[in-house]
Amino acid sequence: MIRKITVKDAAAVQVLINKNSKLHAVLPRSLNDIYENLRDFFVYHEDNNILGCCALHITWDNLAEIRSLIVDESIREKGVGSQLVDACCSEAKQLKVKKIFLLTAKPDFFKKLGFKIIDKAELPHKIWNDCLNCIQFPECNEDAMVREIE
């Protein structure tokens, strides 16, 4: 089941994210960062176990970013990742956000969800703060992608 995160979920989300950050799937997040951005997150849970997460982070007027999409390997390929992204896109629509962007090493997955590859230079400079702290900077292997919200 997908729902908004609660404070009781924060530690489990951090473990899930940081376990996958070691595989360079996402950037690691501190527990403090999870709490500070708690309202950004959706989680997928089964039997009170957090098995997936995704965040929608508002970055500017009419622009948001999808961050920290992780699905536990035990349930991958079952549509949970798509459902988490859809939840973020639905929330973006409710908030009247016009465009969502993301950085990913798996563009084919996001293409199926309506995202298109763009040049990173098209993204606002505000997003580069995260890039500067990334272990892959400046040799980033991720594609920038964007999706218009109707």
- Residue 22 scores a pLDDT above 90: no
Phi, psi of 3 (to 5 degrees): -155, 170
Per-residue DSSP letter, 40: G
Q: How far apart are CA 141 and CA 144, in angstroms?
A: 10
Give the CATH number of the domain where residue 57 resides.
3.40.630.30
Average pLDDT over residues 98-121: 93
CB 97 within 8 Å of CB 61:
no
Residue 126, pLDDT above cutoff 70: no
Owning domain of residue 72: 2-148
Residues in CB range of 70: below 8 A, 6 or more apart: 16, 17, 20, 25, 26, 52, 53, 54
Give 20's pLDDT tier (boundaries 50, 70, 90).
confident
Whether pLDDT at 110 is above 60: yes
Please give the share of the chain, as a percent, with pLDDT higher than 70: 87
**Number of structural domains in the chain:** 1
Distance CA 147, CA 150 (A): 10
In this predicted model, what pLDDT tens digit does every residue of 29-56 receive, in sequence order? Answer: 999 999 999 999 999 999 989 999 999 9
Q: What is the pTM of this model?
A: 0.89
Looking at the DSSP assignment, which residues form a beta bridge with residue 138?
none
* 5 strand-pairing partners: none
pLDDT in tens, 4-16: 999 999 999 999 9
